[in-house]
Amino acid sequence: MITRENLNPDNLTADDVKAFVGRYQDDPIRFVNEILQLEVDSNQKEILESIRDEDYVSIASGRGIGKSWVLSFVAIWVLCTKPSAKILVTSNTDAQSKTTLWSPLCSILRKSLVSEWFDVTTERINFKGNPDLAFIKRLVWSENNVEAVSGYHSKNMIYLCDESSKYP
């Protein structure tokens, strides 16, 4: 059984990390169930599988199906399983960015079995002791400031754009 204790970063070996990545890198649903200790519904399962299998995914739907939650799942899954991942999460306004996506993302991470792996601030989540290895960064999208999302590079680069009514 996987526990917070046996995922304590002070006790993990390189082989443990390799086994963790091998177990979850292609299975976001297992990651959500076992590491985030949450269940996914059929809509969220479809979204997770699409993001796993496709390079570009757009989700158009009504309110209340859990899009922000599933984007949080994706951000944490990618951060934990994809080497040198850079995850940028954006919304239309600072208020949306803080409340609609960042707040649930931080809450889910705090309750997860890997919470001790990360330093969390109001705008960034990164591995303790190695902030440049991989990270999640909160940004605000603006047509007047497209540079805010420019300049990031990684083989495992992902943009998660929530509340995207103003995106081109």
Tell me, yes or no, if the pTM score tops 0.85: yes
Round to whole Å and give the CA distance between 106 and 133.
19
Which whole number is the average pLDDT over 73-102?
85
Q: Between the ranges 112-126, 139-153, 154-168, where is the mean pLDDT highest?
A: 112-126
Tokens matching residue 127: 């591995």
**pLDDT band for position 131 (cuts 50, 70, 90):** confident
Which whole number is the average pLDDT over 131-135?
84
H-helix segments, 58-139: 67-81, 94-96, 103-111
Q: Are 156 and 82 in contact (CB under 8 A)?
A: yes
Round to whole Å and give the CA distance between 53 and 13.
29
pLDDT of residue 163: 58
pLDDT of residue 120: 95
pLDDT of residue 162: 67
